[in-house]
Homo-oligomer: A and B are copies of this chain.
Amino acid sequence: MTVHVDFEPIGRRGNCPAGGTLLDCARQLGVDLVNLCGGVGSCGRCKVQVLEGPVSELTPKEQELLTPQEVAEGYRLACRTVPLGACKVRVPPESLTAPQRTQVEGEDIPVTPEPLVETYLVTLEPPTLDDLCADAERLREALAQQHGVVAPGVDLTALRQMPGFLRDEDWRVRVAVREGEIVALLAADARPLGLAVDLGTTKVAAYLVDLETGQTLAAQGFMNPQIAYGEDLIARMSIAQQGPAQAALLQELVIKGLNQAAAEMCAQVSAAPGDIVEAVIVGNTAMHHLLVRLPVQQLSHAPYVPAIASAMDIKARDLGLDIAAGGYAHLLPNIAGYVGADHVSMLLAVDIAQAEGVVLALDIGTNTEICLANHGQMTSLSCASGPAFEGAHIKHGMRAANGAIERLRLEGDQIEYQTIGGAPAVGLCGSGILDTLAQLYLAGVVDASGRMSDEHPRVRCLNATREFVLISEEEQGDNRPAITFTQKDVRELQLAKGAMRTGIQVLLEAHGLVEEDIDQVIIAGAFGTYIDVASAIVIGMLPSLPLERFRQVGNAAGMGAKMALISRRKRAEAQDLARRVGYIELASVPGFSRKFSQAMRLGQ
């Protein structure tokens, strides 16, 4: 006997043996749920929400590990719940292991498509000696007569292709028009595509979107190839300032990556990059400037002024981006030197301007941008949280990749952990680093000042530095090195934690609010999606608020880019957001240093 189980929104469904738990079903259907305890009901990480269908009764373990609100909303632990008939289960992003979590980004864009570029199928009469109208005028007239569309402009490259294409296609083509300009001619049966890009300092996420339906057809993530020339923005900007050739090199690296991703995604859906009639790219201000090859001298020195803040429409070919002949790349607006278009895009995706009450939205990264919206009045700032959560400057830190410890618990002397892909542990990624510090603080191994005690059996001293042995050489076996967490790692995290908490504090004070006033905390970005919010509260990185006030939204910047791609209304909203959001330069806030050193204390 079997039961049918449907896991959403990742869309895995099938018949599973009756009597098994939802965790068993998930494993059978290839849905990788987080389970630190191995399914014995002790870690509480395999939370799912039962939407439909009969399941077994709530167990005491679940009553202990779930909040009353979660229980009310139908949340269960998958390892404790047995489906009693066909049922539909929602898997929240935080319950999925890392490699799968990127898949949830494939969901539809929650915006009605009203793209800036629209296409029209036209059929022309070929010219004769009695009808000598030029090609461009002939096409314009057909657009006007057959669709009532007025297009006085025509892109130069599109025009160069026009005479040959019209004749090759026997005078029947699909015309892409953008605000009165003919930007491309497509085959009659082509479907117009869009490319949305979240251009991060470390990672790039690219999405191929059907402009008419708004569906995401393909997605691809890759490391920003500029990394080879510097991990952080400061390093890259200083390279760009060495000369035009270096600036060109950095730009071409990114474009090459984007062109490759676009080509691969198009191939997946049997389309061609020439069918992409518009792109939207978001990134922080420095990535934006490097992409457009704008000077960064003034951006990398006080007072850190961008060359431009407004949204830009640039012919994609002027950037080297291989899309349709006259297609544009639209860049969302920047707010300031360290609060860029990616932040605007995130705010757009979470619709913060319409949010009720007090909302705090964070995109955690090397620079963490934070926005506080107080009943629609918005202020943003950026704090230099450093690359610790991306694994840099941490002794055994690493990026989120196979073998990275992403979840960790300390039970007495014992360590429980889970690695990405279930591979043998090779290091700690951001969420694992955060868990580790929280566990050490809870166990009293690290005190509020950040000092590591030497009283725990796992603490040892190496080269005059204390370190906590998470996995010893012996536990690793096979001659693999130990994985440890050092006093210096604690200090790095204190700087990151202190920066973020100071930022939050400054924003609250600017609005005359206190932490308890915050109704909702939105955490965006890859790292923010995967962290254990409870751990972040334990160390004091995030304010101590009820867990249900937190919302982990994934790559909101990418989602915002997709929204702006398919919706001219959303694009206008982004420009409006950038104008309305107030900006605070953290370094110029009175008493910043005092606030910062206070905020570095753990647990508060």
Contact = CB atoms under 8 A, between A and B. Distances in A.
Given A129-B585, A295-B163, A297-B164, A134 B307 contact: yes
Interface string A309-345: 1101010001000000000000000101100000000
A590 interface: no
Nearest to A337: B132
B167 A136 contact: no
A309 B136 contact: yes
A335 to B, nearest CB: 9
A128 B298 CA distance: 11
A459 interface: no
Contact of A318 (B156, B303, B309): B156
Given A295-B163, A298-B163, A309 B137 contact: yes
Contacts of A122: none
A160 B310 CA distance: 14
A162 interface: yes
A142 to B, nearest CB: 15
A305 interface: yes
A159 B588 contact: no
A177 to B, nearest CB: 16
Interface residues of A, number: 45
A305 B127 contact: yes
Contact of A294 (B152, B159, B588): B159
Contacts of A513: none
A132 B336 contact: yes
A454 to B, nearest CB: 44
A592 interface: no
Which residue, of A131, A136, A302, A336, has the highest number of chain B Cβ atoms within 10 A? A136
B132 A585 contact: yes
B132 A307 contact: no
**Identical subunits present:** 2
A173 to B, nearest CB: 15
A312 B334 CA distance: 32
A308 B585 contact: no
A281 to B, nearest CB: 14
Given A295-B163, A298-B163, A307 B130 contact: no
A133 interface: yes
Which residue, of A133, A152, A293, A308, has the highest number of chain B Cβ atoms within 10 A? A308
B136 A293 contact: no
A10 interface: no
A306 B314 CA distance: 28
A515 interface: no
Nearest to A583: B132
Contact of A310 (B132, B136, B314): B136
A43 interface: no
A287 to B, nearest CB: 16
A150 interface: no
A135 B303 contact: no
A154 interface: yes
A410 interface: no
A304 interface: yes
Nearest to A154: B308
Interface in A100-146: 127-137
A164 B306 CA distance: 12
A160 B289 CA distance: 9
Interface in A161-177: 162-164, 167
Which residue, of A156, A167, A314, has the highest number of chain B Cβ atoms within 10 A? A156
Given A160-B293, A294-B159, A308 B134 contact: yes
B588 A130 contact: yes
A301 B134 CA distance: 13
Interface string A212-227: 0000000000000000
Contacts of A336: 132
Nearest to A128: B303
A288 to B, nearest CB: 11
23 contacts: A127-B305, A128-B303, A129-B303, A129-B588, A132-B303, A132-B305, A134-B306, A134-B307, A134-B308, A134-B310, A135-B307, A136-B308, A136-B310, A137-B309, A137-B310, A154-B308, A156-B292, A156-B312, A159-B294, A159-B307, A163-B305, A164-B295, A164-B297
6 pairs of A and B residues whose beta carbons are closest in the complex: A136-B308, A134-B309, A134-B306, A163-B295, A127-B305, A129-B303
Given A129-B588, A163-B295, 6 more contacts: A127-B303, A127-B305, A129-B303, A136-B308, A159-B294, A167-B298
